[in-house]
Chains A and B, each alone.
Chain A
Amino acid sequence: MKEKIIGIDLGTTNSCVATLEGGAPEVIPNAEGERTTPSVVAFTDSGERLVGRLAKRQAITNPNHTIASIKREMGTDHHVKITIDGKETNYSPEQISAMILQKLKKDAEDYLGTKVNKAVITVPAYFNDMQRQATKDAGAIAGLEVMRIINEPTAASLAYGLNKSKEQTILVYDLGGGTFDVSILEIGDGVFEVVATDGDTKLGGDDFDHLIMDWLANEFRKDTGVDLSKDPSAMQRLKDAAEAAKMELSSRKETTINLPYITADASGPKHLEQKLTRAKFEQMIDALLQRTVKIVDNTLREGKKTKDDIDQVVLVGGSTRIPRVQELISERIPGKINREINPDEVVAAGAAIQGGVLAGEVDDIVLLDVTPLTLSIETLGGIATPLIERNTTIPTEKTKTFTTADNNQQSVEIHVVQGERKMASDNKSLGKFQLAGLPPAPRGVPQIDVTFSIDANGILNVTAKDKATEKTASIMITESSRLDDAEIEKMRREAEEHAEEDKKRAEEVEVRNQADQLAYAVEKSLSDLGEKVPQEKRGEIEDQVRRLREKLSQNASTAEIKSAMDKLSKSSHELAEQAYKQASTSGDATPGADRASSSEEPGPDGSDKDDDSGYIDAEYEDK
């Protein structure tokens, strides 16, 4: 095993560490179980050193010996003076940063179960040589050999694999807890160059929390006349609630902040309850967001770029989860927005990838592709039954067993489609072929293995094999991976847009298939039972079967089909019960009587129009 090189995002407010696992970046949780660690260091009265969450918790009791945001001092001759028991010690910013790095290193070692000696550390694009050297020194003090210092926006771009494309211009928008950075990068031959960078070191998500807090306190004063700002306990509850509300508004249009017993006055306890809509929140933070947009414009101007030059936009920092932020950017810059990777972790992930490259861990064998869209075959009723789900890493192979939909069906057609829609016809057809020469058999009996196999180059081979005769047929599809990004994106979007109706349609087909299967099974058991079924009962059941078939051929509504099915399956249950009773008294067991009740078996569509189309039935359980 090669020696690991970890990737560290040494942030102003929070830090994050990641490593490559099996070629993919993985964030390492700290000893407290969190995926990011506050960049805070403290020295207690007893001389104990605290780093991270614990240091943050005690900051108020120990303000003079608690150091936050040391990153702002890197590369300066600023010193932190710590006096414990009358003994004064001076710490350089490098030394304080080293304490954070040491904790990250130790947590990584505990997680990986091995020593960690090497790291890639990220710095803001605007860091000068002195600041970079200081960061490197901090690593050395922490016992880490810093294999490379890379820019945060570069790391984020690496995490999205943007180094693999040809010449591109990338804009990285990084809105963190307390700082905002914009960088424009140019990439050519895998090398990133920072064209321009700008930012605001005092702007971030914490400001949004404060705006919500202030608003809550204001509203409360208007309602009750009580000023919460003098009550630290109430303010803390407001702060927690404000942050929670902000996060919730990223996925919801409205949230309710409910803080019972927030305070009390002479008239008794007071409760806070406020509704906050996303629109109202967006209005609150608008001025701050406009400031970031202005900085983006400045950066573009400084880099002598127009918005049309930007090919890719990368979002970094937790605050970019806010929908309004994403809207503003896409309104501004038409480039493709990358935001799939957790924005709190994307920089560390990129650093880990750089570490993997330097360790020789990432090469062409490890960098495997994924299937961008689901690969399916068309089954009864036009449903797309997936064999290989999207995002499956290739090379890979999957086999499922299918059967026939009609009695004495002689051939089956394998129609291979690609896409996320539930109905095959809504997806992209990749090809079809026949497997012919099936021996005559009742429907549902033949077993046909369909195997999808994709090699490392994305070439898809589909083989169908009849288990009984060992007959096979196959097709090779080379274009499955050749969709361009825009096409993939379009197909995914369409699938999302149509998700509801597609689901309904697929369910309708499912019910029809089940209904047909039930009718077929009941008929079969009627004929199996023969004389044992009383004439009167037989007539009733046959009538119900006929009515169900009518509903199917008349394209009746799902509800109508369901109710006809319910009636039929009820009588067939009675039938089975009776048959069993007879069997147990006469000792003459009747196999097949239970078939009538197995309505769960996915069944074929019995409508005659499909008679010779040779659709394959839905899958068999092949465990």
Chain B
Amino acid sequence: MSKKDRDKEIDKQDLEREEKQQQPSEQDEPSAALSERLAAKDEEIRSYVDRLQHLQAEFENYKKRMLREMSQFEERIADREIIDFIPLYDNLQRAFTNYSNETDAASFVGGLEKIFAQFDRLLKAKGVTPIRAQGELFDPNKHEALLSVESSEERNTILEEFERGYKRNGRVLRPSKVKVSKGQLDTEEEKS
């Protein structure tokens, strides 16, 4: 809105300037020079606004492109990660294909154990480590409390791990879900 107004304003000035130029002899030198400079400034402003708009639009389009590229990038990373897990899936499938009632249960379980070890190695290779929980002191940076019970253990000691947590390169992938000791209520006046 106001940009259009400004354009109109500039147009008006242009017109006025033209009018002035049509009657040159009446005007004294300095004023003619001034309006020339003014016209030059107008032109300068116009070119700056134009450049600013173009740059701004380019930045917007750049952001959109980055977002697109980022999601493509994420896709490719995910592809690469999945490839590493497919052999495990293959092996599980082999285990089930070979399984029948006649199969020795021990050899089936033995196979599964091998696949599990393979899984374990893969996670280790990817830098995934389990978060220690049981017996540790509860730390909300890496543990999530599901339950809090009285016990003879010191307050805030983790009594049980419901679901193991994992971290990678110091970042928590998933916190451990745990049961935490409240301590003993008769010694600590907890309910006030």
> A residues touching B (Cβ–Cβ < 8 Å)?
21-24, 45, 50, 54-55, 57-61, 63-64, 83, 232-233, 236-237, 363-366, 368, 391-396, 456
> How many residues on chain B are close to A (CB under 8 Å)?
36
The stretch of B23-31, B54-62, B128-136 that contacts the partner chain? B54-62
A205 to B153, CA, bound (A): 37
Instruction: Say yes or no: A55-B140 contact (C-beta < 8 A), given A60-B145, A60-B180, A233-B177.
Output: yes
Q: Is the interface of B mostly helix, strand, loop or mixed?
A: mixed
| B contact residues around A83 at 8 Å (CB) | 192
A-B contact count (CB 8 A): 88
Residues of B within 8 A of A368 (CB): 53, 56-57, 60
Q: What are the residues of chain B within 8 A of A391 when measuring CB–CB?
A: 64
Q: Tell me the bound Cα distance from A397 to B49 in angstroms.
A: 17
Given contacts A45-B155, A45-B156, A368-B60, 6 further A-B contacts (CB under 8 A): A58-B143, A58-B144, A232-B146, A233-B177, A394-B57, A395-B50
Q: How far is the CB of A428 from chain B (nearest CB, A)?
A: 23
Q: Are A50 and B140 in contact (CB under 8 A)?
A: yes
B3 at the interface (CB under 8 A from A): yes
Knowing A50-B140, A232-B162, A236-B162, say if A57 contacts B60 (CB, 8 Å): no
**Which of B49, B140, B147: most chain A CB closer than 10 A?**
B140
Q: What's the Cα separation between A364 and B49 when bound, in Å?
A: 11
Query: For residue B182, which residues in chain A have a CB less than 8 angstroms away from its CB?
Result: 61
The reply to whether the CB of B163 lies closer than 8 angstroms to some CB of chain A is yes
The answer to whether B148 has its CB under 8 Å from any CB of chain A is: yes
Q: How far is the CA of A35 from the CA of B7 in the complex (A)?
A: 41
Q: Which residues of B from 145 to 185 have beta carbons under 8 Å from A?
A: 145-148, 155-156, 162-163, 175, 177, 179-180, 182
**Is the beta-carbon distance between B60 and A58 smaller than 8 angstroms?**
no
B61 touches A396 (CB 8 A): yes
- B163: which A residues are within 8 A, CB to CB? 233, 236-237
Contacts of A57 in B (CB 8 A): 140, 143-145, 175
Taking a contact as CB atoms closer than 8 A, the residue among B3, B53, B141 that contacts A54 in the complex is B141
With the chains together, A237 CA to B162 CA distance in Å?
10
Q: Judging by beta carbons under 8 Å apart, are A22 and B60 in contact?
A: yes
User: Contact at A59–B53, with CB atoms within 8 Å?
Assistant: no
If the complex has contacts A23-B60, A396-B58, are A456 and B140 also in contact, measured as CB distance less than 8 A?
no
Whether B57 and A58, one on each chain, are in contact in the complex, defined by CB atoms closer than 8 angstroms, is no
Residues 53-97 of B, flagged 1 when their CB comes within 8 A of A and 0 if not, give: 110111111011000000000000000000000000000000000
Residue pair A395, B147 in contact (C-beta under 8 Å):
no
B40 at the interface (CB under 8 A from A): no
Q: Smallest CB-CB separation from A55: which chain B residue? A: B140
- Kindly report which residue of chain A lies nearest to residue B139, judged by CB atoms: A58
Q: How far is the CA of A366 from the CA of B53 in the complex (A)?
A: 7
- From residue A2, how far is it (CB to closest CB) to chain B in Å? 15
B155: chain A residues at CB < 8 Å are 45
Complex CA gap A253/B144 in Å reads 32
A24 touches B147 (CB 8 A): no
Interface residues of B in 30-63 (CB under 8 A from A): 49-50, 52-54, 56-61, 63
* B100 within 8 Å of A (CB atoms): no
Bound-state CA distance A232–B50 (Å) is 63
Which residues of A are found within 8 Å of B162, using beta-carbon distances?
232-233, 236
